[in-house]
Amino acid sequence: MIRRAPAIAKVCVMGWPITHSRSPLIHNFWIRQLGIKDALYERLPVPPNEMQDTLKRLGDLGYIGANVTVPHKETVFAALMRHDAMARRLRAVNTIVMTDDGLEGRNTDAYGFITNLRDRAPNWRADRGPAVMLGAGGAARAVAAALDDAGVTQIRIVNRTRARAAALVADLGLKRVQIFTWEQMHEALASAELLVNTTTLGMAGERDLEIDLKPLSPSALVTDIVYTPLETGLLKAARARGLDVVDGLGMLLHQAVPGFEAWFGRRPQVSAELRARVLADMGIVEGKP
């Protein structure tokens, strides 16, 4: 009798480039921690012109699911027939699940953002006052949807390109919202209870966001979705003013949870140990600069 080796449940993250993705570290940590047998999470570099074809062959390549990152999130949304409500709302997919009816595109970025905020700043309340969001790109869409769903009293979007902010508002059907230009920053920040940076400013290699935080409410929370560096110039300035801050690493960790649960049937935890493991990979020991 020929004994077949058990099939390996493989999941991948698809992007271009994909070398720096920390998703394999996160998912393989959980696979080991939960003792899931014959499972593997790996990087799959996919150039833009090969994305459609790779999706068609995903099952044949041995994958039971995937994550999707830059620059493929919108392409994958358009290529798939089935989506969850958030992917439909954002018109972008970051998680693919193989269902009985074929591939389903989901989006867990908004979940990751709001879960991180609630986890790291349990005292923050959506109804406390206006939230200011800097930026109107792809990541901003997920943040805006999360804030809208959380029920913030008002979302104030500040973006260099006004038309992009207006498109975001229209596409997401946001109601309690106001758009500001970069020059109107002071007005936008006035008495706000939450400030979120979704722009690329402050990221390693980019210049810092230099804004005067004085107009914010003294009880405001400041968060950045940039996590390299972990403490951006914005977070440093906010901390110096005595404001509560939440860094962006937790968004990456939390957005990974629903995908893992869908693929492997176990809900993983975002623990201090996982955070320390990812930080160590970034060369950071928490508590030390």
- Nearest residue to 259 (alpha-carbon basis) of 48, 20, 24: 24
Cβ distance to ligand ATR smaller for residue 11 or 140: 140
Residue 221 C-beta: closest distance to ligand ATR, Å: 20
Pair 182, 209: CB distance under 8 Å: no
Cβ distance to ligand ATR smaller for residue 138 or 229: 138
Residue 140 C-beta: closest distance to ligand ATR, Å: 6
**Enzyme catalytic residues:** 73
Cβ distance to ligand ATR smaller for residue 91 or 160: 160
CB burial of residue 214 (10 Å; 0-12, 13-18, 19+): exposed
Residue 275 C-beta: closest distance to ligand ATR, Å: 22
Tokens of 214: 């004085």
Residue 156 C-beta: closest distance to ligand ATR, Å: 14
- Nearest residue to 263 (alpha-carbon basis) of 13, 26, 17, 66: 66
- Nearest residue to 209 (alpha-carbon basis) of 195, 194, 191, 221: 195
Q: Rounded to an integer, what distance in angstroms lies between the CA atom of residue 149 and that of residue 106?
A: 17
Cβ distance to ligand ATR smaller for residue 187 or 208: 208
Task: Report the interface residues with ligand ATR, using CB under 6 A.
Answer: 135-140, 159-161, 164, 198-201
Nearest position to ligand ATR, beta carbon = 137
